[in-house]
Amino acid sequence: MTRQEVADQIKDILEHYYPETPIPLDHTDPYTLLIAVLLSAQCTDERVNKVTPHLWELADNPSDMITKDVDDIKAIIRPCGLSPRKSQAIYDLSHILLEKHDGKVPKDWEALEALPGVGHKTASVVMAQAFGVPAFPVDTHIMRLAYRWKLTASKSNVVRIEKDLKKLFDPQLWNKLHLQIIFFGREYCKARQHDPYICPICSKFGRKSMF
């Protein structure tokens, strides 16, 4: 069976298990989504969703955020980890949005990735989930499963993994598919204590990699 044939069947399995893909991070607009994704670096979505309501009480738009003290932002987001760096990034990017983008999150790859604390993965999530632009954000779940399912030969090269996955799936599916893979990885194909004989995908294709 070719890699493409495996990918096509995996797509159908994921669609069966997750026909609906709600966005995991709570938000109300592109700005709050951007901040939530930034906070999710090395942090669970569940924890971010517990923290952000308190942050939005402080400020939920760039105009209000730049009037706050960075230490106040840091105190609220501390449970998400890396709070000194993340709080400064939130403050700085809010300034930039006001100075360069009329206070709005830009619908532009280069402009997004130029913001403090925003890398390609964060930009990909915002482009996909806020603006509906086809993107394939690669997080740790997708990196692990793409290799486990032999959809890529790379364990850790995010650029290579993203490129390989984009070749295998129609661009119209990318935004939904990356969420389906994340949901599936959390529930059925976990990093630890993974049983390939009961996993709905690994049991079908003999995918036993424990990466």
- Per-residue three-class SS string for 83-122: HHHHHHHHHHHHHHHHHHCCCCCCCCHHHHHCCCCCCHHH
**Catalytic residue (one of 86, 121, 164, 176):** 121
Long-range pairs, 58-64, Cβ under 8 A, ≥24: 60/28, 60/31, 60/32, 61/31, 61/103, 62/31, 62/93, 62/94, 62/95, 62/97, 62/98, 62/103, 63/98, 63/103
Is 139 an active-site residue? yes
**Catalytic residue (one of 45, 139, 163, 190):** 139
Is 8 an active-site residue? no
Enzyme catalytic residues: 121, 139
